[in-house]
Structure 1
Amino acid sequence: MPDALHEWIVLRQDAVVWVAGLISLALVGYMALVFGRFLVYWAGSRHAFRHGRPAEPGDPAAFRWHLVIPCRDEEAVVTQTLDGLRTSAPEAHLWVIDDDSEDATRELVLAAAARDPRIHLVQRRRPHARIGKGAALNAAYREISARLPEGTDRSRVVIGVVDADGQLDPGTLARVCNPKALGRPDTGAVQIGVRMRNADDELPLPGRGRLANALARALVRMQDVEFQATNTGMQLLRRRTGSVGLGGNGQFVRLTALDSLTAEEGRAGRPWPERALLEDYESGLDLRLAGWRLTHVTEAQVSQEGLISPRRFLTQRTRWAQGNMQCLRYTGRVLRSPHYTATGKAEVLYTFLQPVVCVLLVLLFPVSLGITGAGLVLFPEETAEFQLRFGPWMLLAFVLATLPMVFWGFAYRRAVHPDRGRLTGLLWGVLVWLYAYHLFVVATRAAVRMLLGRNGWAKTRRNAEKTTLGAPTALES
């Protein structure tokens, strides 16, 4: 082979190796940035979780309470929910929104209302029904507003949102109006904690085998860890940064705060976003952008059913991830808002970008494998040298990303189950790490749905439901 041709081939090989190495370094750098961002957020959440302090309860008699329960085909749980709420919040009016159910939900609510004058039915019919939870909540807002006595101090009226399977802890209303929550006149909304009441169910799938029940128990436990540990830490961090998020279950909003949103152009009578998959979180963004303070109360909780079906779980979380991506349209308003601090803006952007980052990592993973595989075939020595040089750093990044998730298992054990041993806390922590990988699945599914223009709102079926009633609602893009 002529020397010139040999030199040209060597140069081409060096160039390919250099480009492949540059791409691999970029991937490593991106992953390091992602992990670093995650570690900072985790450290802040962990510190807030460890140093959270409860506040003294307030006086619920100083407020008028209206609890709203959106229902769509909820005959399996609605009666139990109404009975539980009447016990835990006897002073509250209960407003059930029947979103054109196809089961016996309406009849069960009417029967309960006949026995209790503080139970009310808000009936919705298609085509105005089944267009999303936000629209259902707005219907209740208009009904409650219309039926308040003339001269009512609307700043003393509180609307709480409880899922159809939700149960409030006794004393919740007193804790929600504590001096650091709705006891402050500038507080527009309060979010309370959430827990899975079937987390200790030993037989979630009666009649099924040991393996099926073990997997179902693990899934419910991880949801409980997620809400009572990781999400609580996040909310306590947000309480410091002024960016608390509202959830679909256990939010309490001052009526005048909702009124302020309806004053915006095109939102008369509609404080909650109606074309949103995360109307709860978006409503919190709207309230904060309007200047209202939001806070989180850990001393009170609402319990709900943890899902035992992986399919239903993934359907629910895909909707959440897609709704999170929809929130990206708020980016400019949040960055320009004088009501968000610099740390609050950073926290909101972290939340907005979380599913996007997951999708990018899913896309980059096969690229990285392809580059490595091609390098091992074409340039084995150079690739082996590169892996030897940078492989330990990638392993370290993997470990650093794993350990914080494991620590949440110990935090959950101490806060919720101090009677369990440390080995159990370690097991829960390892499961949390494995559980977190569902974020990559649901984020990718959500991105595909958005690309296909599929923005339908699919109700999460209860564990007791055997068949699907009704079809997902097609929301406008």
Structure 2
Amino acid sequence: MPSLLGSISLVLTVMFLAYMTFILIPYVRHKKESPGDPRRFEWHIFIPCRDEAAVIATTIARQRDRFPDAHLWVIDDDSDDDTSAIIQAHADADPHVHLVQRRRPLARTGKGDALNSAYAALNSWLPDDADRDRVIVTVVDADGEMAANALAAVAADDCFGDPVVGAAQITVWMKNRDDRMPYPERGRLANAFARYLIRMQDVEFRTVILAMQSLRSRTGTVGLGGNGQFTRLSVLDRIGEGYGAPWHGALLEDYELGLHVILAGYENRQVHETYVAQEALPSLRRLLAQRTRWSQGNIQCVKYIREIVGSRHFDSSGVLECLYYLFLPFLQIVGLVVILLTLVFQGVTIVTDPAALAGVVDHAWAFVALGMIFGIGPFAIWGVLYKLRCEPGSTWLQAVGWGVGLVFFVQYILISVTRAMARVALGRNGWAKTRRNAEVHVAGPVSVDV
């Protein structure tokens, strides 16, 4: 058994290091993109809301200021607070703001259903002779802040200027990454830990996740995110014709949509030269709930493997990338089991043969060296790249700290994927909304359906 565990551990380590290398190279080699003319397209921004009174007025005002020609379709998913009234007030004063009202029992059935309701409302509003290839639908979170150059960036000739491109995803930043007091009512230690969580989420999205997208740009499998995604209306039409509706029921409905765009014969693009900013979560509990939902949504998308493998729109590299990503939660569970069993066998060996402890001590330097190379090194490099690419004014000491901090931060995966597997096994697919940071200060800790 120990030899088998060692072999499995070696295979998983090689796969992990190979993948980290594959995403690192295109990320480092990425070339600057040129913007296009957003006037070539019509822009419609979907903003799904559920109890978003704390942030939605600011979001509407900011989008209207930065993108005066765009229409906002703000979906109230039967909120219990003043969200609907706030949206309606803006809609009454501005013809570019539209309230899409949902009511229970048809409401609160998932983000995909909420977006589909906005899609239906947009279809009813558009004239029959609208050029649906030129209509671009954008999805932004209720707290999302798109950069002022976002529409120009995705209007580029190699993005929506190319008719084969059906969807695009822009980079995600954490807008509260420099917040010094995430919890003003709490002590210094709690705020330090909250700042650490916030910064690590910014590092993760702007390096590791963006690097994954850089690899996918090469394999033709760029994924869409829930914030800052753009899709041609004609492509949404085609997906709806094939699957009944553009968005579907997976908890990772954004990645699911990206797969459908490719299966429909179009390409996705990752756009680096602009961003959408969102709130990072300063709470470990809320972070674990969010990442558990993502892992569960990933598992739900495994059902598309047969379509991916059988589609002529995915080449061999694209199939391999999708298979690795979709099976990643299962590989992570296997890795966790291997680690636990290895520790158990090592402990039993030491208890039954005390002399074995001396051997472990003698080779401790080797374990430490291997841990530094394979355990810390692949993550520490992202702290350096984050400094060079994202925070050039930071110190090298900060860069090292961010890299080492990422080593500990990513351990959330062990908890989130385990909880996701348990939820799948128990058939629990519902999910409670993750509260905004402003709501938590007012209402206290969030309750999560886990």
TM range (shorter): over 0.9
Deviation at 1:401, TM superposition (A): 3.2
Which residue of structure 1 lines up, in the alignment, with residue 195 of structure 2? Answer: 217
Q: Is the 8 A contact 1:317 1:442 kept in 2?
A: yes
Q: Note the 1:324-363 alignment, pairs <5 A.
A: 324-363=298-337
Q: Note the 1:25-40 alignment, pairs <5 A.
A: 25-40=3-18
Q: Which of 67, 70, 82 is matched with 1:92 structurally?
A: 70
Q: Which amino acid counterpart does residue 348 of structure 2 have in structure 1?
A: A
Q: Which moved more, 1:45-54 or 1:162-171?
A: 45-54
3-state DSSP class of the match of 1:131?
coil
Q: Note the 1:270-419 alignment, pairs <5 A.
A: 270-273=245-248, 275-380=249-354, 392=366, 396=370, 399-419=373-393
Which residue of structure 2 lines up, in the alignment, with residue 449 of structure 1? Answer: 423
State the structure with more CA Rg.
1
Deviation at 1:183, TM superposition (A): 0.7
Query: Aligned partners of 2:180, 2:449: CA distance in 1, in Å?
Result: 35
Deviation at 1:356, TM superposition (A): 1.4
Which residue of structure 2 lines up, in the alignment, with residue 19 of structure 1? Answer: none
3-state DSSP class of the match of 2:438?
coil
Deviation at 1:55, TM superposition (A): 2.1
Deviation at 1:396, TM superposition (A): 2.0
Which residue of structure 1 lines up, in the alignment, with residue 438 of structure 2? Answer: 464
Query: Aligned partners of 2:418, 2:87: CA distance in 1, in Å?
Result: 39
Q: Which of 166, 191, 201 is matched with 2:169 structurally?
A: 191
3-state DSSP class of the match of 2:437?
coil
Query: Aligned partners of 2:297, 2:361: CA distance in 1, in Å?
Result: 39
Q: Identify if the C-alpha distance between structure 1 residues 41 and 71 changes in structure 2 by more than 3 Å, giving closer, same or farther.
A: same
Q: Is the 8 A contact 1:58 1:175 kept in 2?
A: yes
Deviation at 1:371, TM superposition (A): 1.4
3-state DSSP class of the match of 1:123?
strand
Does residue 251 of the first structure (1) align with residue 229 of the second (2)?
yes
Which residue of structure 1 lines up, in the alignment, with residue 401 of structure 2? Answer: 427
Q: Is the 8 A contact 1:449 1:455 kept in 2?
A: yes
Q: Is the 8 A contact 2:434 2:448 kept in 1?
A: no
Query: Aligned partners of 2:282, 2:447: CA distance in 1, in Å?
Result: 21
Q: Which amino acid counterpart does residue 70 of structure 2 have in structure 1?
A: A
Query: Aligned partners of 2:130, 2:320: CA distance in 1, in Å?
Result: 39
Which string of whole-angstrom CA distances, capped at 9 and with x for unpartnered residues, describes residues 96-130 of structure 1? 01001000000000111122110000000111110
Which residue of structure 2 lines up, in the alignment, with residue 142 of structure 1? Answer: 120
Query: Aligned partners of 2:362, 2:185: CA distance in 1, in Å?
Result: 52
Q: Is the 8 A contact 1:32 1:397 kept in 2?
A: no
Which residue of structure 2 lines up, in the alignment, with residue 121 of structure 1? Answer: 99
Query: Aligned partners of 2:19, 2:116: CA distance in 1, in Å?
Result: 34
Q: Note the 1:1-80 alignment, pairs <5 A.
A: 23-80=1-58
Query: Aligned partners of 2:51, 2:80: CA distance in 1, in Å?
Result: 6
Deviation at 1:327, TM superposition (A): 1.4
Q: Which moved more, 1:121-130 or 1:362-371?
A: 362-371
RMSD between superposed Cα atoms in Å = 2.1
Q: Is the 8 A contact 1:202 1:217 kept in 2?
A: yes
Q: Identify if the C-alpha distance between structure 1 residues 75 and 166 changes in structure 2 by more than 3 Å, giving closer, same or farther.
A: same
Q: Which of 384, 398, 413 is matched with 1:439 structurally?
A: 413
Which string of whole-angstrom CA distances, capped at 9 and with x for unpartnered residues, describes residues 154-211 of structure 1? 0000000000000110121011110111110010000000000110011111122111
Query: Aligned partners of 1:201, 1:115: CA distance in 2, in Å?
Result: 33
Deviation at 1:391, TM superposition (A): 9.2
- Provide the TM-score with structure 1 as the length reference: 0.90
Q: Note the 1:152-163 alignment, pairs <5 A.
A: 152-163=130-141
- Provide the TM-score with structure 2 as the length reference: 0.95
Q: Is the 8 A contact 1:335 1:345 kept in 2?
A: yes
Q: Which amino acid counterpart does residue 85 of structure 1 have in structure 2?
A: Q
Which residue of structure 1 lines up, in the alignment, with residue 80 of structure 2? Answer: 102
Q: Identify if the C-alpha distance between structure 1 residues 469 and 24 changes in structure 2 by more than 3 Å, giving closer, same or farther.
A: closer
Query: Aligned partners of 2:210, 2:370: CA distance in 1, in Å?
Result: 27
Which residue of structure 1 lines up, in the alignment, with residue 210 of structure 2? Answer: 232
Which string of whole-angstrom CA distances, capped at 9 and with x for unpartnered residues, describes residues 419-450 of structure 1? 11111100000001110111111001111111
Deviation at 1:455, TM superposition (A): 1.0
Deviation at 1:384, TM superposition (A): 6.5
3-state DSSP class of the match of 1:464?
helix
Query: Aligned partners of 1:397, 1:180: CA distance in 2, in Å?
Result: 42
Q: Which of 193, 198, 206 is matched with 2:184 structurally?
A: 206
Query: Aligned partners of 1:179, 1:88: CA distance in 2, in Å?
Result: 22
Q: Is the 8 A contact 2:173 2:277 kept in 1?
A: yes
3-state DSSP class of the match of 1:155?
coil
Q: Is the 8 A contact 1:190 1:297 kept in 2?
A: yes
Give structure 2 stretches of 5+ with no counterpart.
none
3-state DSSP class of the match of 1:235?
helix
Deviation at 1:345, TM superposition (A): 1.3
Deviation at 1:218, TM superposition (A): 0.6
Give structure 1 stretches of 5+ with no counterpart.
1-22
Q: Identify if the C-alpha distance between structure 1 residues 290 and 398 changes in structure 2 by more than 3 Å, giving closer, same or farther.
A: farther
Q: Which amino acid counterpart does residue 409 of structure 1 have in structure 2?
A: G
Q: Which moved more, 1:358-367 or 1:71-80?
A: 358-367
